[in-house]
Amino acid sequence: MIEEALPAVLLRIVSELHDVAYLIERIEPQLLELGGTSVLDHPDSLKVMQGIDLAVQKTRGIAEFIDTITGSIPAGWMVDVATALSLVKLTEMQKALGGGALHGHSQPLAKAAGDFDFF
């Protein structure tokens, strides 16, 4: 059993959600670079671009919601995170959510172009 203060766990989730939003947001300019502005002439492509924007807005919205309600949770509320952490398959995310990452993020946001991870 790994018990931690619920507000601390929720703030780590907020951090991860902001990382997800950032990663999704980076897709749109890459699609435009690869396909050029003519991509926007196709209705299906435009729907994909709008979907990317919506995914970013929803992810940030969930993060802000959790961040806001976390402020009203008593610091003494403890939760067992062991089972939940065992279900997270990405090792770096598991460390970040479990409090094991020093910087609080599972995704290195400044990787050089061409860097990739094998999984």
pLDDT for residue 114: 53
Burial class (CB in 10 A: 0-12, 13-18, 19+), 85: middle
Residues 60-103: tens digit of each pLDDT: 999 999 999 999 999 999 999 999 999 999 999 999 999 865 44
Whole-number Å distance between alpha carbons of 61 and 55: 10
pLDDT for residue 66: 98
In this predicted structure, the answer to whether residue 112 has a pLDDT above a threshold of 50 is: no
pTM passes above 0.85? no
